[in-house]
């Protein structure tokens, strides 16, 4: 396949040979990835393995030093900044590892922000945002400011914000990092369920907790997949900026039922 | 030593802020020395010399305000985390800020002394064919203790104010709820301006029409002006808050929402400097309308430049601090696909709307304040 060819039809997002460095420190080296339509793809890796950089490159927030990123048939790596911002605003959703809410806005206004940014009327934006907050169990916090919310509530608001405009692709960069363990599974389940019921493709990063040396005498873990992803179609692993598990640890999403992992 | 190393290594914008403080401190130092020179030239008549010294208090207050704003801004958030990780706690940071303030202010004082001595001809003979030494007691010896006291006054005031402003405090427990209704300071501002205008009008009854600055500045008139200026300072927070309310009223879109809410949140911090800038703008306008070129002189121009420069600089530095604190939020907004243009439009609205609210007020109050003295 030549470098100029657009991705196959069933890949919604497609990147090849991504190289990215932060002021000289290499973050990604030769990463190629294809994301299928409506799948939940997990990118696992230790801290500093380049998960966030990969997500930022794929979402067009960061321009890679080398390589290509295609969204459907749009080349993100050469798109003009204005067009890229518009595309990201309308088609992509983003949840970070911290809620990153605007502190001056109430929860519902934060959740409605993507709609307001794309010029939807205030009334419609409010209604949609309230629906999503309700769906994520934070409907009663709608009129409070982020400072008055618990961290888990803030993160739920951030998730509502990333889904409110029905994006095509949702980028979730360790969305459960600020949460306690019992909340993680619930939040992830809500997120993936919402994404599946609306046909949203999800790219999720997760810490790879099993990369640490085990204490002597303990049994090897049966499963190398991150234990907190309830519903994932595929899991890829990033190590030092390279994708190691080149394909899927489970089979492709079309062949099997989604694998469920317990927390 | 650490403070000096940090000063040497910081970015050009931070250096520019310090340079501004140093220049302003130099201006104030020179004004103080000028008052001393006048007193030396008129040993038998302490009254006018004292008045000159008292007028120096206004630029002094302005420069102290600027120095505190700059000290609050430095070190930047990035540097702060680094220093914190290195073991420099809040007390250490406050001490660091005090030292760098002292360095800038002392630099300014030294500059003032140098220029003063040069103009007096103590360094290399009288410059400008000897005409520069007028009013600077050029042919008299300079009393060293008085000179040092005056030169150390601005640095001391700035360091004390900085140390007081930056002393570690326990963090606020919960953020207060959003206030509604008219801004708290608005009635006070209106009352003070109205009282000031009345006092001025009452005091100006006995003055002859078209009085110049010398006879026109009666105590009553000055008191009225001070009241008006205080009212305008209070109008700053009120106008900022009102601007925020106006921006977020009537179904705001993303730009107005972001601009307005940030103004509302910043009203407490930014309102003070904005109020001072308003008062300064009003004083300059009123003085220009009343006396025009009559007031122009080396000392008045320098004093006005210091006050205006400090007022503008304080607003600039304080707004910059808010911008730095919102960097994470702005980054998060960029993650949502908000364009740089949108963030810029919001920032422009934050400047334009309070300015549009305050401009007519300044013009109107200046017109009203000149009426009793010109009529």
pLDDT of A259 strictly over 60: no
Share of residues in chain B with pLDDT > 90 (%): 29
Residues of chain B in contact with residue A148, where contact means CB-CB under 8 angstroms, are: 174-175
What would the pLDDT profile of A53-68 be if each residue is shown by its tens digit? 999 899 888 888 888 8
**Quick check: is A2 in a domain?**
no
Q: What angle do CA B204, B209, B211 make, to 5 degrees?
A: 80
**Quick check: is B174 in a domain?**
no
Q: What is the pLDDT of residue B356?
A: 93
**Quick check: is A3 in a domain?**
no
Q: What is the pLDDT of residue A252?
A: 39
Is A189 near chain B, with CB under 8 Å?
Answer: no
Tokens of B164: 């007081």
Q: What is the pLDDT of residue A208?
A: 65
Looking at residues A139-165, what average pLDDT do you find?
Answer: 88
Mean pLDDT of chain A: 79
Residues of chain B in contact with residue A161, where contact means CB-CB under 8 angstroms, are: 336
Chain B nearest-CA distance from A126, in A, is 11
Looking at residues A55-82, what average pLDDT do you find?
Answer: 88
Q: What is the pLDDT of residue A194?
A: 83
Share of residues in chain A with pLDDT > 70 (%): 80
What would the pLDDT profile of B153-202 be if each residue is shown by its tens digit? 999 999 999 988 888 777 665 555 556 667 778 889 999 999 999 988 88
**Quick check: is B176 in a domain?**
no
Rounded to the nearest 10°, the torsion over CA A79, A80, A82, A87 is -10
* Same domain for B160 and B43: yes
**Quick check: is A202 in a domain?**
yes
**Quick check: is B202 in a domain?**
yes
| CATH number of the domain where residue A246 is located | 3.40.50.300
Closest A-chain CA to B342: A117
Q: What is the DSSP letter of A221?
A: P
Contact A175/A155 with Cβ under 8 angstroms?
Answer: yes
* Same domain for B209 and B153: no
What would the pLDDT profile of B315-342 be if each residue is shown by its tens digit? 999 888 888 888 888 888 888 888 888 8
**Quick check: is B179 in a domain?**
no
Q: Are strands A234-239 and A201-207 parallel, antiparallel or unpaired?
A: unpaired
Q: What is the pLDDT of residue B134?
A: 63
Size of interface A-B (CB pairs under 8 A): 74
Looking at residues B9-26, what average pLDDT do you find?
Answer: 88
**Quick check: is B56 in a domain?**
yes
Confidence bin at B125 (pLDDT 50/70/90):
low
Q: What is the pLDDT of residue B296?
A: 76
Which of A115-119, A205-209, B44-48, B109-113 shows the highest mean pLDDT? B109-113
Q: Do B334 and A119 touch (CB under 8 A)?
A: no
pLDDT of B210 strictly over 60: no
Is A85 near chain B, with CB under 8 Å?
Answer: yes
Nearest one of A86, A104, A83, A95 to A55, comparing CA atoms: A95
Mean pLDDT of chain B: 84
Share of residues in chain B with pLDDT > 70 (%): 88
The stretches of chain A forming alpha helices (DSSP H) are 51-58, 81-91, 107-117, 122-135, 151-163, 181-197
**Quick check: is A1 in a domain?**
no
Q: What is the pLDDT of residue B77?
A: 62
Q: What is the pLDDT of residue A228?
A: 52
User: What whole-number distance in Å separates Cα of residue B96 and Cα of residue B91?
Assistant: 9
pLDDT of A178 strictly over 90: no
pLDDT of A226 strictly over 60: no
pLDDT of A134 strictly over 50: yes
* Same domain for B297 and B156: no
**Quick check: is A4 in a domain?**
no
Picking from B68-82, B102-116, B163-177, B329-343, which range would have the lowest pLDDT averaged per residue?
Answer: B163-177
* Same domain for B161 and B41: yes
Closest B-chain CA to A56: B335
Choose between B20 and A9: higher pLDDT.
Answer: B20
**Quick check: is B312 in a domain?**
yes
pLDDT of A4 strictly over 60: no
* Same domain for B131 and B104: yes
User: What whole-number distance in Å separates Cα of residue A77 and Cα of residue A82?
Assistant: 13
Contact B361/A130 with Cβ under 8 angstroms?
Answer: no
3-state secondary structure of A202: strand
Q: How many domains does chain A have?
A: 1
Q: Do A61 and B175 touch (CB under 8 A)?
A: no
Is the bond into B75 cis (omega within 30 degrees of 0)? yes
Looking at residues A239-246, what average pLDDT do you find?
Answer: 76
pLDDT of A225 strictly over 60: no
* Same domain for B6 and B117: yes
**Quick check: is B332 in a domain?**
yes
User: What whole-number distance in Å separates Cα of residue A160 and Cα of residue A133?
Assistant: 6
Choose between B355 and A5: higher pLDDT.
Answer: B355
Q: Could you say which of A109, A114, A145 has the minimum Cβ distance to residue B257? A: A109
* Same domain for B331 and B193: yes
Nearest one of A230, A98, A239, A236 to A177, comparing CA atoms: A98
The domain containing residue A71 runs over which residues?
Answer: 11-211+219-260
Closest A-chain CA to B332: A100
**Quick check: is A51 in a domain?**
yes
Q: Could you say which of A96, A109, A147 has the minimum Cβ distance to residue B175? A: A147
Task: Tell which of B124, B139, B166 closes a domain.
Answer: B166
Contact A69/A18 with Cβ under 8 angstroms?
Answer: yes
Q: What is the pLDDT of residue A8?
A: 58
Q: How many domains does chain B have?
A: 2
User: What whole-number distance in Å separates Cα of residue A53 and Cα of residue A162?
Assistant: 19
Share of residues in chain A with pLDDT > 90 (%): 5
**Quick check: is A133 in a domain?**
yes
pLDDT of A261 strictly over 50: no
* Same domain for B306 and B249: yes
Chain position carrying tokens 């002859």: B208
Residues of chain A in contact with residue B334, where contact means CB-CB under 8 angstroms, are: 61
User: What whole-number distance in Å separates Cα of residue B125 and Cα of residue B141?
Assistant: 14
Q: Could you say which of A104, A117, A161 has the minimum Cβ distance to residue B261? A: A104
* Same domain for B156 and B237: no
What would the pLDDT profile of B335-364 be if each residue is shown by its tens digit? 888 888 888 999 899 889 999 999 999 999
Q: What is the pLDDT of residue B65?
A: 92
Chain A nearest-CA distance from B235, in A, is 23
A80: Cβ contacts below 8 Å, ≥ 6 apart: none
pLDDT of A180 strictly over 50: yes
* Same domain for B191 and B161: no
* Same domain for B107 and B228: no
Choose between B243 and A210: higher pLDDT.
Answer: B243
Chain B nearest-CA distance from A210, in A, is 29
The stretches of chain B forming alpha helices (DSSP H) are 2-9, 12-41, 46-55, 57-73, 77-85, 90-120, 144-166, 185-203, 213-216, 219-248, 254-291, 298-325, 327-335, 340-374
Q: What is the pLDDT of residue A192?
A: 84
Helix (H) or strand (E) holding A14: strand A11-22
- Torsion sign across C-alpha atoms A165, A122, B334, B83: negative
Q: What is the pLDDT of residue A219?
A: 52
* Same domain for B195 and B114: no
The domain containing residue B50 runs over which residues?
Answer: 2-166
């Amino acid at each position: 396949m030549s470098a100029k060819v657009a991705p196959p039809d069933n890949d919604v997002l497609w990147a090849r040979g991504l190289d990215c460095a932060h002021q000289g420190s290499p973050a990604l080296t030769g990463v190629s990835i294809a994301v299928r339509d409506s799948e939940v793809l997990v990118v696992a890796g230790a801290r500093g393995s380049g998960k966030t950089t990969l997500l930022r490159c794929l979402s067009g927030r960061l321009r890679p030093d080398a390589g290509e990123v295609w969204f459907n048939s749009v080349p993100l790596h050469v798109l003009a900044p204005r067009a890229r911002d518009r595309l990201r605003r309308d088609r992509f959703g983003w949840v970070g590892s911290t809620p990153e809410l605007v502190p001056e806005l109430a929860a519902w206004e934060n959740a409605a922000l993507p709609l307001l940014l794309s010029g939807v009327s205030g009334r419609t934006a409010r209604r949609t945002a309230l629906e999503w907050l309700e769906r994520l169990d934070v409907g009663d916090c709608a009129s409070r400011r982020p400072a008055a919310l618990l961290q888990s509530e803030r993160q739920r608001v951030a998730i509502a914000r990333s889904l409110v405009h029905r994006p095509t692709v949702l980028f979730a960069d360790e969305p459960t990092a600020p949460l306690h363990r019992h909340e993680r599974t619930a939040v992830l389940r809500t997120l993936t369920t919402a994404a599946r019921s609306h046909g949203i493709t999800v790219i999720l990063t997760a810490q790879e907790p099993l990369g640490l040396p085990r204490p002597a005498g303990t049994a090897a873990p049966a499963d190398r997949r991150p234990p907190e992803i309830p519903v994932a179609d595929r899991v890829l692993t990033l190590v030092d900026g390279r994708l190691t598990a080149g394909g899927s640890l489970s089979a492709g999403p079309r062949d099997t039922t989604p694998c469920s992992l317990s927390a | 030593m650490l403070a000096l190393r940090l000063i040497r290594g910081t970015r050009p914008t931070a250096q520019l802020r310090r340079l501004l403080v140093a220049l302003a401190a130099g201006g104030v130092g020179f004004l103080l020395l000028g008052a001393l020179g006048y007193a030396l030239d008129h040993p038998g008549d302490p009254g006018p010399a004292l008045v000159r010294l008292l007028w120096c208090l206004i630029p002094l207050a302005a420069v102290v305000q600027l120095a505190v704003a700059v000290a609050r801004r430095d070190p930047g958030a990035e540097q702060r985390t680094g220093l914190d990780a290195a073991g420099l706690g809040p007390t250490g940071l406050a001490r660091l800020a005090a030292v760098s303030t002292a360095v800038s202010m002392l630099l300014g004082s030294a500059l003032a002394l140098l220029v003063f001595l040069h103009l007096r001809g103590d360094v290399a003979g009288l410059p400008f064919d000897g005409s520069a030494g007028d009013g600077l007691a050029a042919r008299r010896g300079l009393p060293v203790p008085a000179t040092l006291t005056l030169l150390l006054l601005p640095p001391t005031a700035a360091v004390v104010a900085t140390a007081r402003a930056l002393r570690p405090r326990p963090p606020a427990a919960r953020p207060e709820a959003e206030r509604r209704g008219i801004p708290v300071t608005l009635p006070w501002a209106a009352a003070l301006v109205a009282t000031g205008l009345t006092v001025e009008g009452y005091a100006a009854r006995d003055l002859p029409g078209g009085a110049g600055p010398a006879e026109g500045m009666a105590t009553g008139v000055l008191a009225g002006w001070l009241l008006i200026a205080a009212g305008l300072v209070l109008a700053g927070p009120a106008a900022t808050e009102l601007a925020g309310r106006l921006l977020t009223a009537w179904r705001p879109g993303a730009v107005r929402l972001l601009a307005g809410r940030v103004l509302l949140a910043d009203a407490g911090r930014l309102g003070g400097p904005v109020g001072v800038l308003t008062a300064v703008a009003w004083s300059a306008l009123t003085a220009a309308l009343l006396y025009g070129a009559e007031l122009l002189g080396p000392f008045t121009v320098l004093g006005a430049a210091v006050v205006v420069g400090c007022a503008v600089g304080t607003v600039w530095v304080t707004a910059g601090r808010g911008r730095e604190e919102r960097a994470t939020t702005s980054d998060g907004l960029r993650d949502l696909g908000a364009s740089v243009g949108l963030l810029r439009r919001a920032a422009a609205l934050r400047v334009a709307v309070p300015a549009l609210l305050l401009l007519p007020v300044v013009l109107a109050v200046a017109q009203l304040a000149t009426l009793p003295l010109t009529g």
